[in-house]
Structure 1
Amino acid sequence: MKKFTLGTLAFGVFLASACQNTNGQNAEAEKLAKEAIEIHDEIMPQVSAFNKHEILIDSLLQNLSVLKTVDANIDTVETREKFQTLKTNLESATDKMMVWMKEYAADSTDVNYQKAEVERISDLKTEFEQVKYEAESLLASFKK
């Protein structure tokens, strides 16, 4: 009888420690998921601004000859390349955000997965900041 009781007690202690470990991992995974969503929520509103920038770029590309009449010193070939590169960068950042949102599993309890996703969305935030700066720099003189 004592063996059964000691064995049962040992098994109970084992289960309790295993549950605490799992709960600790779940808590860490939830914390990381919250961090990933916070970063997402911070940069997601920029997608709308990026779309507006793309519309402005399309308009400017269609009217390069008008820009040349306003500023005879403008190099239309170089300007076209800059606009096209910026538009590609804006589209790429937006597409990456859409892919991240589609693929991200916020309810995952895998700590390593959540760490990787925080890193992934943080890298995307850096890209968004860079593209935002490029857009503001290039388009500032063309906005009314």
Structure 2
Amino acid sequence: MKKLFVTAAALACLTAACQNAQDTNDAQALSAKAIEIHDLIMPQVSTFDKHTVLIDSLLGNLASLKAGNPSLDTNATREQLSTLKADLESATDNMMTWMKEYTPDSTDAAYQQAEVDRISQLKTAFEKATQDAERVLVPLTPHDK
């Protein structure tokens, strides 16, 4: 009976050790995925910063834009540009917050999965901000012909 108990206890320890090793491997894989997504979208921050500077310039020169395009609705344009600027800044700020708060070496697989989900949501926000910037800024900026 004592041998059976010792064998069962040893088996339980081995199972727990294997599970901990699997959890660590899962956490490492999820951490790598989070970093991969981060590395994909992080370069866009500099583009967002440039867009913000352009938006400030456009907002300061709405009268000139109106002179070049008399049909331009400056109120609607001001609103679009202000909204876009806020979205770009929000995406950038959220990325900086994520980077500050993220713990890439955590071995908690649930934490790493939550962070993959969080950075994936940021990726979606970055994609939307990029599309909105193209939609709003392209018609307002001069193009080489």
Q: For residues 118 and 65 of structure 1, what CA distance do their matches in structure 2 show?
A: 45
Q: For residues 20 and 90 of structure 1, what CA distance do their matches in structure 2 show?
A: 45
Superposed CA RMSD: 1.6
AA aligned to 1:116 is A
Q: How far is 1:143 from its partner?
A: 4.9
TM-score (norm 1): 0.92
The structure 1 residue matched to 2:43, chosen from 42, 45, 51, is: 45
Q: For residues 65 and 88 of structure 1, what CA distance do their matches in structure 2 show?
A: 22
| Mapping for residues 47-66 of structure 1, pairs under 5 Å | 47-66=45-64
Q: For residues 131 and 74 of structure 1, what CA distance do their matches in structure 2 show?
A: 23
Percent identity over the alignment is 51
Structure 1 residues 143 and 12 mapped into 2: Cα distance closer, same or farther (>3 Å)?
farther
Gaps of 5+ in 1: none
For the pair 1:29 / 2:27, whether they are aligned, the reply is yes
Q: For residues 9 and 83 of structure 2, what CA distance do their matches in structure 1 show?
A: 63
Q: For residues 109 and 84 of structure 1, what CA distance do their matches in structure 2 show?
A: 41
For the pair 1:79 / 2:80, whether they are aligned, the reply is no
For the pair 1:11 / 2:14, whether they are aligned, the reply is no
TM-score (norm 2): 0.91
SS at structure 2 position matched to 1:107: coil
Gaps of 5+ in 2: none
Point out the more displaced range, 83-92 or 103-112. Answer: 103-112
